[in-house]
Structure 1
Amino acid sequence: MTQNGNLKRLVRARAAKTGESYTAALQHIRQLPDEPVIRSIRIAVAQTSLFNDPRDISALRASGSEMRRLMEEAHTTGARLIHFPEGATCSPNKRIMSENGPREIGPSDWTRCEWSVLREELEATRKFASELKLWTIFGSVHQLTSPHRPHNSLYVISDRGELVTRYDERLLSNTKVSFMYSPGKNPVTFEVDGLRFGCSMGMELHYPEIFTEYERHDVDCVLFSTTGETPSKPSLAFAAEALGHAASNSYWISFSAHAPQSVTVPSGIAAPDGQWAVRCPTSGEAAIAVTTIRNDPVSPARPWRRNARADLYTPHQIDGDPRSDGRNLF
């Protein structure tokens, strides 16, 4: 859905000033060059149950069913997009996967994963996204040909049920890169209803360069997916960093994690002012939260920060040592 919250006011103001009819004033306003357009979209952020054993067929089925239930709930609220956590289908536990485990963490044995069942659930989710006309972004392990380790990925499924793109986690933890996954290489963006989204996941919230890079790609919102932690070890730093990145880059951040940590840090959507626009319940249960996000084409914040990060200050800097300018008081 595309909206311009100021359009009616602009049209009425012109009609009152010129004596034109509303229709004539509207036609004139629409013909103005470079008129900023405010676009908005209703999105849902999810927190899901944690399934961490890819050998467990019943758990893989339950994960898929839960995701589709939340998709339907988001659809009933009018959401155009739903965003799920890292490993929403299954977030393989490093000890379960370790060929030396569970006591010793070692290289993951990916033959333990029920790949065929996982693919069936992915296909069911893809088809359901098409039925609901709902953009669906969710975390899953992406299998590569042997001997390559899989990617830890976010799939982007369009409202037509098409796999539009896939984001592979780039800045992996030591355990992930040493024993579990192959790292990705590139940022990923895609557009829905005129708004641009970027993808990030895992522990990448700790790296501001990921988020300044997406600002340079002109995104309106970054979808960040993580597994989260248990209530005894919540991702408090992640939540604070999400707000900080949203404010410092003047865009929205959707923060999606698994439900167990929600009693202290629920999933939510951070606004460009560095405040939570909406958050999931702190119940420890699978749930969604829904809000409308929009761009702000007239805000001076992003252009100013881009100038500040470039050469804005260089002409104003003073050459030489300020301690030798003759005005040092000490």
Structure 2
Amino acid sequence: MTQNGNLKRRVRARAAKTGESYTAALRHVRPTLPDRSEAKSVRLAVAQTSLFNDPRDVSGLRASGMEMRRLMRDAHKAGARLVHFPEGATCSPNKRIMSETAPKEIGDADWTRFEWVVLREELEAIRVVARDLRLWTVFGSVHQLTPPHRPHNSLYVISDLGELVTRYDERLLSNTKISFMYAPGKGPATFEIDGARFGCTLGMEAHYPEVFAEYEKLDVDCVLFSTTGETPSAAPAFAAEVLGHAASNTYWVSYSAHAAQSATTPSGIAAPNGQWAARCPANGNPAISVADIRTDPENLARPWRRKARSDLYVPHQVDSDPRSDDRNLF
């Protein structure tokens, strides 16, 4: 059971009882928040990794885990408190490999093809290294559910004690994912490190500004966005959206994708001013890049935008028909 499992149940129970949204119910149920009037700083390492997409390949699953653990050690040496990995960092199953009807067409995924025992062994090895390095670790993995339920496409959050703190399940799935592969998630996921709050998002959710606006309302300081990166030609759109979300919500966004797309869009960390604070090498190789996620309580942009999005302007609006106002020529 995750540490915030009880909190989620309480939030959902309140939402069901009151008719509130999950976000609204969370505000009422969440325990007393820590003092956020002081500046916080957390060193974050963002990773780009090799793409392993055949869950039948035991050697590939092993190599994926080994690469992740090597990058975790690199992040630790760089002084990182948290390392952030892409979607499907352990394995991102290819839709044609999984399809019951391939290669003729894409059909329902046959999840019996997944080497689940090997995956669990690699997950345990990752957890142990996170504990030994005292390194918070966030990474994408398929999360198996009891058959006949489809699995989730998830982000695991492992604490510096090696404990599963929470899990985020992708909610806004692509057509292929929802039609043939995964069960969608139900709600946001947040966690805190040294007083700084992080949110999780996944897959193609960069295309949906409402996901990032929801995390702004949840008072996060940084959103961790993990994706496979699609093709190198499609990756720049994700990067542009990430910079826009960071600027419009005045928080940090970490963008982690697979190394193959780095020729056009390497993984990186976007600052609240909409500029890259750190980027991995654009050479197609697995790597990390590091930035200090700093909060700025004196920055007035975020509270003003919250105020502007409320009913601030309603008392100042004037009812008039511009077509009947003959004092203006146009």
Q: Considering the TM-score relative to the shorter chain, is it more than 0.5?
A: yes
1:14 is matched with: none
3-state secondary structure, aligned to 1:230: coil
Provide the TM-score with structure 2 as the length reference: 0.88
Instruction: Determine if the alignment matches structure 1 residue 140 to structure 2 residue 145.
Output: no
2:126 is matched with: 125
1:273 is matched with: 273
1:19 is matched with: none
1:192 is matched with: 193
User: Contact 1:95–1:103 (CA<8 Å) still a contact in 2?
Assistant: no
Q: Matches of 1:230 and 1:238 in 2, distance apart?
A: 11
Q: Matches of 1:35 and 1:217 in 2, distance apart?
A: 13
2:237 is matched with: 237
1:95 is matched with: 96
Q: Matches of 2:275 and 2:176 in 1, distance apart?
A: 32
Aligned length: 296
Provide the TM-score with structure 1 as the length reference: 0.88
2:62 is matched with: 61
User: Contact 1:42–1:291 (CA<8 Å) still a contact in 2?
Assistant: yes
| C-alpha deviation, 1:103, in angstroms | 3.3
Q: How does 1:24-63 map to 2 (within 5 A)?
A: 36-63=37-64
**What code does the residue aligned with 1:108 have?**
A
Q: Matches of 1:226 and 1:218 in 2, distance apart?
A: 23
Deviations 1:215-266 (A, max 9, x none): 00000000000001333x3411100000000000000000000000001100
Instruction: Determine if the alignment matches structure 1 residue 111 to structure 2 residue 112.
Output: yes
**What code does the residue aligned with 2:124 have?**
E
Q: How does 1:153-164 map to 2 (within 5 A)?
A: 153-164=154-165
User: Contact 1:234–1:265 (CA<8 Å) still a contact in 2?
Assistant: no
Deviations 1:130-156 (A, max 9, x none): 000000000000000111100000000
User: Contact 2:137–2:158 (CA<8 Å) still a contact in 1?
Assistant: yes
1:322 is matched with: 322
Q: How does 1:208-227 map to 2 (within 5 A)?
A: 208-227=209-228
3-state secondary structure, aligned to 1:82: strand
Q: Matches of 1:318 and 1:327 in 2, distance apart?
A: 16
Deviations 1:14-70 (A, max 9, x none): xxxxxxxxxxxxxxxxxxxx8931110101000000000000000000000000000
User: Contact 2:36–2:297 (CA<8 Å) still a contact in 1?
Assistant: no
3-state secondary structure, aligned to 1:186: coil
1:26 is matched with: none
Q: Matches of 1:321 and 1:153 in 2, distance apart?
A: 52
**Any stretches of 5+ residues in structure 1 without a counterpart?**
1-33
User: Contact 2:36–2:195 (CA<8 Å) still a contact in 1?
Assistant: no
**What code does the residue aligned with 2:106 have?**
I
**What code does the residue aligned with 1:79 have?**
A
Deviations 1:275-318 (A, max 9, x none): 00000000101000011111011101001100111111111111
Q: Matches of 2:308 and 2:36 in 1, distance apart?
A: 25
Q: How does 1:253-264 map to 2 (within 5 A)?
A: 253-264=253-264
Q: How does 1:175-186 map to 2 (within 5 A)?
A: 175-186=176-187
User: Contact 1:229–1:260 (CA<8 Å) still a contact in 2?
Assistant: no
Which one has a bigger Cα radius of gyration?
A: 1
* Stretches of 4+ aligned residues off by more than 4 angstroms: none
**What code does the residue aligned with 1:222 have?**
V
What RMSD, in angstroms, separates the aligned Cα atoms of the two structures?
1.1
Alignment identity in percent? 75
Q: Matches of 2:36 and 2:171 in 1, distance apart?
A: 38
3-state secondary structure, aligned to 2:69: helix
Instruction: Determine if the alignment matches structure 1 residue 206 to structure 2 residue 207.
Output: yes
Q: Matches of 1:102 and 1:285 in 2, distance apart?
A: 30
Q: Matches of 1:129 and 1:320 in 2, distance apart?
A: 62
| C-alpha deviation, 1:267, in angstroms | 0.1
User: Contact 1:243–1:275 (CA<8 Å) still a contact in 2?
Assistant: yes
2:301 is matched with: 301
User: Contact 1:85–1:257 (CA<8 Å) still a contact in 2?
Assistant: yes
